[in-house]
Amino acid sequence: MTMADKPIPFASWERVSTEDRQDPESSRAWQYARGKALIEPHGGVIVAEFFDIDKSRSIPPQRRPEASKLLAALADPHRGFDAVVVGEPQRAFYGNQFGNTFPLFEHYGVPLWVPEVGGPIDPANEAHDMIMSTFGSLSKGERNRIKIRVRAAMAAQAQVEGRFLGGRPPYGYQLIDAGPHPNPAKAADGKRLYVLARDEPAAVVVVRIFAEFLAGFGIFAIAERLTADGIACPSAHDWARNKHRCGLAWSKSAVRAILGNPRYTGRQVWNRQRKDEILLDVHDVALGHTTVMRWNDQDKWIFSEQVVHPSIIDDEIFRQAQQLLAAKNARQVNRRPRTSPHPYVLRGLLFCGICTRRMQGSWNNGQAYYRCTYPYEYARTNDIDHPRVVYLREAEVLPELDAWLSKSLDSARLPATIEELAASQDDVIPRELAALEDEIGTCDQKLAQYRKALDSGADPAVVGHWITETQARKLAADARLRAATGTRPAPARMTKEQIAAAVTTIRDLVRALRTAATEDKAEIYAGLNLQLTYQPQERIVNTRAEIGQTCTKGSCPRGDLNPHALNGH
């Protein structure tokens, strides 16, 4: 085809991972330019772009957001482009991904262009297939080499230099600036080196936990005593980074984590956990892997050769605590692992209305249940009255939920739903104000608890630090509240036309719920941004759905949608 002919519309396919600190804009630019240089002499013009950011190459294209949109568009005759160009095939394909993906292009008759073959890939050309398969293997090898180099470097930095390698500091420590980063390039970019320093109020609590544990108190008893004394748990102590947690009481897991953390001896420790890649579906390996965090055996941990930050617990006390923990763990019953995971349609979407925590899946008598065991995991507190276990059966929720979604997005009901969605945008600011008022009220309660602790003889230096932090939180919330009630720009609102377009987009998904498999239902619910809150006292599930930027360019918090009651269940 010559330049005098009608231009060929192309879609550009790119990907960048920020794992190795690549700049998305520059990476996109050179991949785009490389693809453009390939197609322009043949009369090609890029009319659409699919660019995935911060997605590993090991994730199959079908599970990358932009790549999956591209593959879905192949089946649409009105997609707006006739061919696809990949500027860098090693960015698009990893391992055997090309062999699992290219048949879609061939099936829908959409040519796939790559610079390495100088044009479109010929499905009948064995050399083309071999070249693309080789690039997939090179991509996999490159990623593996990067992982090996990074892990070896981090192990050396932790063991020899004792360097803090990131993450949040353990309870009892805080991060302080230790000067420019030792890497000259990173220092030139303004990066700083941070080290651990004692957080004195929390460090005193760590010493107390070890002392009480060695004195014979159990983990739950220690949590109860700390909560009863009004000592803020780790999430409440560092509220700014733990807003997703209730912070009402100490948990057994928090006490156990403190007792088992060797960094309190002043040594840096790395490689306590690892990332494992496991098959997403053992029956469909083309779906690729997912990453899970797992604990390493202690002989795999990397300890610094020297003491590199102030210690809170000496080596002998820590050793005694580990021996006692090992003896207690030896008495526990080891449960046989399940041979296959159970499907939970509402995984991550169902919350307890009492403590606001996510309810956990529990498989009983061949059925999916959801439970909240707050009193088993956390110390008792006067702030909430929580039953020992809150249970809800999945089968009693799904029919009502599907019926509610179908009714709300039914053609006859659709105009009223759109009106309600438009009106609900006015509730955004009141909800923000209510959250700020709740924050101020929580601070007032904590200040009252701290004053009682002072009256009962608690250490004034420790309690004074807590009072200072809580007052700072209260002042910040009060300032935001005054700003919100004063002059502030109005939030962007969606028009009824935008809302209608978004609702129409998801209506087909709701129709598919009637016949969808369990895994498909879970994806649909997650895509609708559902949040279900179970109120066990009233036996009611309140449902909230949000139409967000995944549906349209704007966003519309829907608010509480017509809550449905599961009376008698």
In the chain, the percentage of residues whose pLDDT exceeds 70 is 75
Residue range 408-413: average pLDDT?
63
pLDDT of residue 488: 41
In the chain, the percentage of residues whose pLDDT exceeds 90 is 28
Q: How confident is the model at residue 150 (pLDDT cuts 50, 70, 90)?
A: confident
Q: Which residue has better confidence, 285 or 206?
A: 206
Long-range contacts of 94-100 (CB under 8 A, 24+ apart): 94/57, 94/58, 94/136, 94/139, 94/140, 94/143, 95/58, 95/136, 95/137, 95/139, 95/140, 96/133, 96/136, 97/60, 97/61, 97/136, 98/132, 98/133, 98/135, 98/136, 99/133, 99/136, 100/60, 100/286
Taking 70 as the threshold, does the pLDDT of residue 411 lie above it? Answer: no
Taking 70 as the threshold, does the pLDDT of residue 340 lie above it? Answer: no
Rounded to 10 degrees, the C-alpha dihedral 218/220/222/227 comes to: -170
pLDDT of residue 104: 93
Both structure tokens of 33: 């330019």
Q: How far apart are CA 494 and CA 436, in angstroms?
A: 25
* H or E stretch covering 303: strand 302-303
Q: How confident is the model at residue 214 (pLDDT cuts 50, 70, 90)?
A: very high
Q: How confident is the model at residue 553 (pLDDT cuts 50, 70, 90)?
A: very low
Q: Which residue has better confidence, 408 or 194?
A: 194
Taking 90 as the threshold, does the pLDDT of residue 545 lie above it? Answer: no
Q: Which residue has better confidence, 173 or 166?
A: 173
pLDDT of residue 412: 63
Q: How far apart are CA 47 and CA 84, in angstroms?
A: 10
Q: Please answer whether residues 389 and 371 qualify as being in contact, where contact means their C-beta atoms are separated by less than 8 angstroms.
A: yes
